[in-house]
Amino acid sequence: MIKRFVKMTFKPEHIQEFKMIFNSNKELIAAVEGCSHVELLQDDNNPCVFFTYSLWQNIDFIEQYRHSDLFKGVWSKTKVLFDDKPEAWSLKGL
Task: Per-residue pLDDT tens, the chain, 94 aa: give them.
Answer: 999 999 999 999 999 999 999 999 999 999 999 999 999 999 999 999 999 999 999 999 999 999 999 999 999 999 999 999 999 999 998 8
Instruction: Report the candidate in 57, 70, 66 with the shortest Cα–Cα distance to residue 22.
Output: 70
pLDDT at residue 94, rounded to an integer: 85
Tell me, what's the pLDDT at 4? 98
Print burial letters for 55-73: b (CB count within 10 Å at least 16), e (below 16).
Answer: ebeeeebbeebeeeeebee
Domain ranges within the chain, ordered by starting residue: 2-92
Which helix (H) or strand (E) is 91 found in, with range? strand 87-92
Q: What is the pLDDT of residue 72?
A: 97
Comparing CA positions, the residue from 39, 37, 88 lying closest to residue 63 is 88
Q: What is the pLDDT of residue 93?
A: 86
What pLDDT, on the 0 to 100 scale, is given for residue 89?
98
Query: Among 1.10.287.810, 3.90.960.10, 3.30.70.100, 3.30.413.10, what is the CATH number of 2-92?
Result: 3.30.70.100
Q: What's the sign of the alpha-carbon dihedral 54, 57, 58, 64?
A: negative
